[in-house]
Amino acid sequence: MPKDVITPRATDYNQWYLDIVREADLAEPAEVVRGCIVVKATGWGIWEMMQRELDQRIKATGHANVQFPLLIPKSFIMKEAEHVEGFAPEVAEVTRAGGEELTEPYVIRPTSETIIGHFYSRWIRSYRDLPLLYNQWCNVMRWEMRTRPFLRTSEFWWQEGHTAHATEAEAEAETLTILHEVYADFVEQVMAVPVIRGLKTEKEKFPGALRSYCIEAMMQDGRALQAGTSHNLGQNFARAFDITYTDQNNTVQYCWTTSWGVSTRLVGALIMTHSDDEGLVLPPRLAPTQVVIVPIYKNPEERARVLETVERITGDWQGRLRFKIDDRDNLTPGFKFNEWELKGVPVRLEVGPKDVEKNSVAVARRDVPGREGKSFVPQAGLTERLVALLDEMQTGLFRRALSFREQRSATVRTYDELKQQVEQGFAWAYWDGSADDERRIQEETRATIRCIPLEQPEAPGVCVYTGRETTRQVVFARAY
């Protein structure tokens, strides 16, 4: 497997990303289905790890998993005007089935607020039925014109939470709980990707929402990627679908609803945050395989001794480490080293006849490629050493990504400074402009307001565009 199959990031960042997806065996284009991909075993294994970690957090905050239909009556989509306007260009319709034209077309779900709203209106009667806290794992379809594996495809996989509450305060608390305790916690603690928590502007919020919150991450080319969103939908969908409850005073009230989701674009975020010119780099807490062991031998006698040693040193790993023994006889050790490096396995162990004699192993860490990341350690105490090493690598990847974001971020005071800064990263700026001002800036710079950070400065400043005094600061960036 040649080492030059991956285009260097400095040469062509976009091609580098596509090369990683291909060479790490994460996915390939589903050429027979426009805009879709086949997620291969390595890529789906990463998504399964993401699902497991997120699902634990979702359930820990009181939510249960359900499943709603893939097909939604078109009339449902039409009920919430702002919602349908926002999704109209992306909707795919089913107009014929069973050899006959349908009386009413179905929409392949681009998101499920409408059909879930329909059923919530049937399930909720009294304040005693609230809050209703549900989540579903599913696929959705949005007819994208320009696609990129994981980051933007016509079909993708995600979880979408949908909740109903008695008051606005409860809905707002739910929205922020998901943002902080589920999404930000997972992305930072498991994916090792630092994020900015913030509020979307009116221009950028989810169609039909009262307020939209997000987490924004910086990729290695300085561009932003929205890693998750959590929406307070207010009473907009409740009014459209008549989701009401009778309160303690026997008065009929509209519910307050929320929706929130993260998708397989997190796999893209993972690639673009940590990977290098040698291939994929996976943070240990997310890696389906944390340690791969490559036995090295030349004849059957050496093979028996080496594999016996491998079996002994891995004897207490079950439940502590996710590991794989690569004892394939049809491939050279060098080929195996390169393959596991491309696939981003955090730690590789090499065990040969000399290691058996010396009671040692060779340890190669993926976050430090080449000779600098390789060392020889005793077999005694190896399990504890590996556990500590994986923790060190997890922390190191987060710190490295955070340091990179800090280096590529700057506070700007003038529009000219803003235009220069978004060429390389995040521009923090005071803001008191309008949605039209946002549009003009986007047209001129290709940058958008990624969010209004939840942590705001105490001192006022001058808007970077209008010159008016304000206390609000925003983050501008070009984005995926």
Tens digit of each residue's pLDDT (9 = 90 or more) over 394-428: 999 999 999 999 999 999 999 999 999 999 999 99
d(CA 189, CA 450): 22
Cα–Cα distance, 132 to 163 (Å, whole number): 5
Average pLDDT over residues 209-216: 97
Match 């932003």 to its residue by tokens: 224
Q: Is the pLDDT of residue 2 over 60?
A: no
At residue 127, what are phi and psi to the nearest 5 degrees? -60, -20
Spatial distance between the Cα atoms of 71 and 134, rounded to a whole number of angstroms: 19
Q: How high is the pLDDT of residue 3? A: 53
| Nearest Cα to Cα of residue 292 among 371, 369, 346 | 346
384 pLDDT above the threshold of 90: yes
342-376: pLDDT as tens digits: 999 999 999 999 999 999 999 999 999 899 999 99
Structure tokens at 318: 């079950």
Residue listed under structure tokens 């459209």? 240
Contact yes or no for 290/347 (Cβ under 8 A):
yes
Position 6 scores a pLDDT of 96
The yes-or-no verdict on residue 223 having pLDDT over 90 is yes
Q: Is the peptide bond before 105 cis (omega within 30 degrees of 0)?
A: no
**pLDDT score at 478:** 98
Which of 257, 218, 278 is closest to 409 using CA atoms? 218
- Please check whether residue 464 is in contact with residue 415, taking contact to mean a CB–CB distance below 8 angstroms: yes
Q: What would the mean pLDDT of 258-277 be, rounded to a whole number?
A: 98
Q: Does residue 1 have a pLDDT over 50?
A: no
Q: Are strands 37-39 and 461-462 parallel, antiparallel or unpaired?
A: unpaired
Dig out the tokens for 253 from the structure. 């009230």
Average pLDDT over residues 123-132: 98
Residue 4 — pLDDT band, cuts 50, 70, 90? low
Q: Please identify which residue in the block is written with the tokens 């565009």.
A: 465
Q: How far is CA 336 from the centre of its chain?
A: 29
Q: Which DSSP symbol is given to 213? A: E
pLDDT at 189: 98
pLDDT interval class at 81 (50, 70, 90): low
161: nearest Cα among 66, 79, 82, 254: 66
- Give per-residue pLDDT as tens, 138-196: 999 999 888 999 999 999 999 999 999 999 999 999 999 999 999 999 999 999 999 99
Report how far residue 15's alpha carbon sits from residue 221's, in angstroms, rounded to the nearest whole number. Answer: 12
- What is residue 210's predicted lDDT score, i.e. its pLDDT? 97
What is the residue-averaged pLDDT of the chain?
96
Helix (H) or strand (E) holding 81: helix 81-87
Residue 11 confidence (pLDDT): 97
| Residue 89 reports pLDDT greater than 80 | no
Would you say the pTM of this structure is higher than 0.85?
A: yes
Taking CA atoms, 396 is separated from 330, 386, 400, 403, in Å, by: 35, 15, 6, 10
What number does CATH give the domain 3-274?
3.30.930.10
DSSP 126: B
Tens-digit pLDDT profile for residues 26-74: 999 999 999 999 999 999 999 999 999 999 999 999 999 999 999 999 9
User: Which of 3.40.50.800, 3.40.50.300, 3.40.30.10, 3.90.245.10 is the CATH number of 291-389?
Assistant: 3.40.50.800
What pLDDT score does 86 carry?
67
As a CATH number, domain 409-477 is 3.30.110.30
Tell me the mean pLDDT in the region 280-306: 98
Query: Where do the structural domains in the chain lie, given as residue ranges?
Result: 3-274, 291-389, 409-477
pLDDT of residue 79: 83
Q: Does 123 score more than 60 pLDDT? A: yes
Higher-confidence position of 458 and 245 = 245
